[in-house]
A = this chain, B = another copy of it.
Amino acid sequence: MACEDAKESLLSELRDHYRVNGNKDIRRRNMCSGTASPAETNTLEQNEVKCPLAPECIFEKPRFNFKYVVMLLAVYLGGGTLCFFFIRHQIKGKRTNGILDAIYFSVVTMTTVGYGDLVPDSILAKLFACIYVFTGMALAGIVISEAADYIVQKQQILVVRAIYMGEKLGPNEVLKEVETHKVKYKLIMVGGLLLVLIMVGTLFLFIVEELNLMDAFYCVCSTITTLGYGDESFSTRGGRVFAIFWILSSTICLAQFFLYVAELYTAERQRAMMKRVLSRELTFSDLEAADLDGDKVVRAAEFVIYKLKEMGKIDQEDVSIVMESFKRCDADQSGTLTESDLMKSQPS
C-alpha cells in the first residue's frame, strides 16, 4: 500500500513537472494523419488510460503479464510431467516416486542442468527429451527476460529502503533513487537473492542429502550454472521436492545476475559515451550538419537530435521516417506545425 501511495505521489509530481515543461496530460483528440485505422486508435486510447504520463511514462509496463508467464511455465512443466510420467518405465536411473520423478526430470531437463541421474532409455523418451529441452530453453529466455525483470522492478524499492534505512528517505526520494540507479539496484537485489539461494541449497544438501559441506557447495555450483556433472544430485524424496523449486529459481537467478552485469556495463559505457559526445568541441561543420531544416541556425531541438545521433541512441533512418510523417501533417507546407495545420487536415 505504502508503495502504491509513493508511486501515486511521484506520478502527480512528475505530471506537474511535465506541465511546466509544456507537456499536458489532458488529451483532446483531433485529426491529422489519415492513415490511422479505427482499430489502432482504439488500442492507443486504451493504452493511454493505463499510462497517464504517455509518452514519457517512466514506469515501463511489463511486456508480458507476470501471471501469464507463470501460467506458461506451469503448463509447460505440467505437460512435461504428464508425458514423462506416462513413459516412466522408459526412463532409467535412481527412482523415488513416479510423479515426483517426472516433475524432477522435467525441471532438470528444462533448465539444462541434466545431472544424468535419470536418463531416457528408449527412442521415444530420447526424442521427447530433445524436444523438451529445446522448447525449455526458449521458454527460459522468456521467463528470464520478462517475469524476473518484473519481480525485480517491484522489489527494487525495498533494496533502496534497506540501504538508506538510517537516512529516512521519503517515498518520493526512494522512487527517484530507484529510477536513477535502476540497474545497480537490480544487480544488488539479484546478487543478494543468489547468495541466499546458494546458502539454502548448500545447507539443504548438507542436512537432508547428507553430503559433506564441500560436496554440497560443489553440487550447488554445478547445478546453478547448469553444469550438472551428476556425480552429486538429489536422490531422496525430500531432496527432489526441494530441487524442483530450488533448481528453477536458482538457475533463473544466476542467468538474471549475468544479464544485469551486462546491462550495468552497457549503461556505464553509454554514460561515458554521452559525456564524451557532449564535451566535444563544436565546429562550423557540426552546425551545418545539425541544421535539419536548413535555415542556417541550429535550434535546441535540432541540437538534441544531432547529439543523440552522435551518441548512437537514434539513427538517421528513425529521423527520416518521422520527418516524412511531419511533412504529411504540415498541411500548409510552412515547415512548422500549428493549430491551423491540425484544423486544415480535419475532415469537413
Residues of A within 8 A of B (CB): 18, 22-33, 35-37, 40-41, 43-44, 54-56, 58, 109, 112-116, 119-120, 123, 126-127, 129-130, 133-134, 137-138, 141, 145, 214-215, 217-218, 221-222, 225-231, 254, 258, 261-262, 274, 276, 278-294, 296-316, 318-319, 321-323, 325-326, 329, 335-339, 342
Contacts and interface: CB of A to CB of B under 8 A. Distances in A.
A326 B342 contact: no
Nearest to A57: B312
Given A29-B281, A303-B326, A313-B313, A43 B226 contact: no
B112 A342 contact: no
Given A56-B309, A141-B258, A36 B281 contact: yes
B278 A325 contact: yes
A228 B114 contact: yes
Contacts of A138: 258, 261
Contacts of A300: 292-293, 323, 326, 335
A258 to B, nearest CB: 6
Contacts of A278: 33, 35, 321-322, 325
B56 A316 contact: yes
A104 to B, nearest CB: 13
B339 A284 contact: yes
Nearest to A44: B280
A279 B33 contact: yes
A27 B289 CA distance: 10
Given A301-B301, A304-B319, A338 B292 contact: no
B41 A310 contact: no
Contact of A130 (B41, B217, B301, B322): B217
B281 A337 contact: no
